[in-house]
Chain A
Amino acid sequence: MPFIPHTPEEIEQMLATIGADDIETLFDEIPANIRCQSLDGIPPAASEMEIAREVQAMADRDAGALNFIGAGAYEHHIPAAVWQLTTRGEFYTAYTPYQAEASQGTLQLIYEYQTMMTGLTGMDVSNASLYDGASALGEAILMAVRVHRKSKSRKILVPASLHPNYRKAAETIVKHQGIELVELPIDPQTGRIDPTALEQYSGEDITALAIPQPNFYGVLEEADELTAWAEQNNTLVIGVVNPFALGLLKPPGEWGENGADVVCGDGQPLGAPLSSGGPYYGILCCKQAHVRQMPGRIVGRAVDADGKKGFVLTLQAREQHIRRSKATSNICTNQGLVVTASTIHMALLGPVGLRNAAALSMANTRKLVEKAAAIGIAPRFSGEYFHEVALQLGQPAAGVLERMAANNVLGGYDLGQVNPSMADSILVCATETKTDADIDRFIDTLQAAL
Chain B
Amino acid sequence: MSNIPSELKYTKSHEWISDNENGTVTVGITDHAQELLGDLVFVEQPEVGKELEAEEACAVVESVKAASDIYAPLAGEVVEVNEKLEDEPELINSDPYGEGWLFKMKLADPDSLESLLSADDYAAEADQ
Q: Which residues of A contact B (CB under 8 A)?
A: 149, 292, 315-318, 322-323, 326
Contact = CB atoms under 8 A, between A and B. Distances in A.
Nearest to A149: B47
B106 to A, nearest CB: 20
B42 A316 contact: no
20 contacts: A149-B47, A292-B42, A315-B42, A316-B64, A316-B65, A317-B41, A317-B42, A317-B62, A317-B63, A317-B64, A317-B65, A317-B66, A317-B67, A318-B67, A322-B65, A322-B66, A323-B67, A326-B60, A326-B67, A326-B69
B19 interface: no
Nearest to B69: A326
A209 to B, nearest CB: 23
A299 to B, nearest CB: 14
Contacts of B66: 317, 322
Nearest to A150: B47
Contacts of B65: 316-317, 322
**What 4 A-B pairs come out closest when comparing CB atoms?**
A317-B62, A317-B67, A323-B67, A322-B67
Nearest to B62: A317
A149 B42 CA distance: 18
B44 interface: yes
Contacts of A322: 65-67
A326 B70 CA distance: 13
**Residue among B44, B47, B64, B67 with max Cβ neighbours from chain A (10 Å):** B67
Interface string B48-71: 000000000000101111110100
A191 B88 CA distance: 49
Interface of B: 41-42, 44, 47, 60, 62-67, 69
B40 to A, nearest CB: 10
A315 B63 CA distance: 9
A102 B42 CA distance: 27
B81 to A, nearest CB: 13
A330 to B, nearest CB: 15
Given A315-B42, A317-B63, A326-B69, 16 more contacts: A149-B47, A292-B42, A292-B44, A316-B64, A316-B65, A317-B41, A317-B42, A317-B62, A317-B64, A317-B67, A318-B67, A322-B66, A322-B67, A323-B67, A326-B60, A326-B67
Contacts of B41: 317
Contacts of B60: 326
A61 to B, nearest CB: 51
**Residue among B44, B62, B65 with max Cβ neighbours from chain A (10 Å):** B62
Contacts of B42: 292, 315, 317
Contacts of A326: 60, 67, 69
Nearest to B50: A149
Contacts of A317: 41-42, 62-67
**Residue among A149, A292, A315, A317 with max Cβ neighbours from chain B (10 Å):** A317
A402 to B, nearest CB: 55
Nearest to A323: B67
Contacts of B44: 292
A318 B41 CA distance: 12
A322 B44 CA distance: 16
A323 B47 CA distance: 21
A402 B120 CA distance: 83
Contacts of A149: 47
A101 to B, nearest CB: 16
A424 B69 CA distance: 57
A316 B69 CA distance: 16
A315 B66 CA distance: 10
A7 B18 CA distance: 71
A141 to B, nearest CB: 20
A351 B63 CA distance: 39
A292 B44 CA distance: 9
A292 B59 CA distance: 14
Nearest to B66: A322
Contacts of A323: 67
A341 B65 CA distance: 30
Contacts of A316: 64-65
A314 to B, nearest CB: 8
Nearest to A314: B64
A265 to B, nearest CB: 28
B116 to A, nearest CB: 26
A219 B78 CA distance: 47
A248 B44 CA distance: 39
A323 B41 CA distance: 15
Nearest to A324: B67
A149 B49 CA distance: 12
Nearest to A312: B64
Contacts of B67: 317-318, 322-323, 326
B85 to A, nearest CB: 13
B46 to A, nearest CB: 10
Contacts of A318: 67
A322 B68 CA distance: 10
Nearest to B63: A317
Contacts of B63: 317
